[in-house]
Amino acid sequence: MIENINSTGEAYGQITYAGEPILKINLNDPEIYDLYDSKYKDQVNVDRADEGIFYVPGETTTDMTELWKEDSYAKENQIVGIKLLVEDGKISVLYQESPRDLCQYEPPTNSSLKPIVCLPNKVVVKVITSQSSDEFYLDDVLE
């Protein structure tokens, strides 16, 4: 019982595009990920997983000029989409295009209570855990 109380399970960043899950990344080890068999599978790039960098499709992120200036890998491979970073157990958006770029300025998250939502791009990044709901132990704040 004490082991269950002290364990936190694994935390994952689950990315959905246009309402469909496309990628799940272990936030403690980004080289562990699941690329879902979706119609967008070919638009997801996981080649830099060892660096914690992933590229996913975005509805309005089509002009890559700014990203290509700072990311030679993206330019060399003609990547079009949103750039994500998994670092220090958190996930964040490094590059995307939208009218106010709000999701790009959101702080990195590792909390299921703080998803990153890129509405014009139809991308949602939420944090999920490997523990089932009956394994959670609420703290005093939540009780």
Cα–Cα distance between 36 and 54 in angstroms, integer? 14
What is the token pair recorded at 72?
């030679």
Domains and CATH numbers, the chain: 2-130 (2.60.320.10)
Determine the pLDDT at residue 131. 53
Give, for 68, the enclosing helix (H) or strand (E).
helix 65-70
Residue in the structure block whose two tokens are 């890998």: 73
Q: What is the DSSP letter of 46?
A: -
Under 8 Å CB-to-CB from 105, ≥6 apart: which residues?
Answer: none
Q: What is the pLDDT along the chain (143 residues), one digit of tens a residue?
A: 334 434 457 899 999 999 999 999 999 999 999 999 999 999 999 999 999 999 999 998 888 999 999 999 999 999 999 999 999 999 999 999 887 778 888 999 999 899 999 989 999 999 998 754 444 444 444 43
Give, for 5, the enclosing helix (H) or strand (E).
helix 2-6
* Measured distance between the N- and C-terminal CA atoms of the chain, rounded to whole angstroms: 19
CB-based contact 132:9 (threshold 8 Å): no
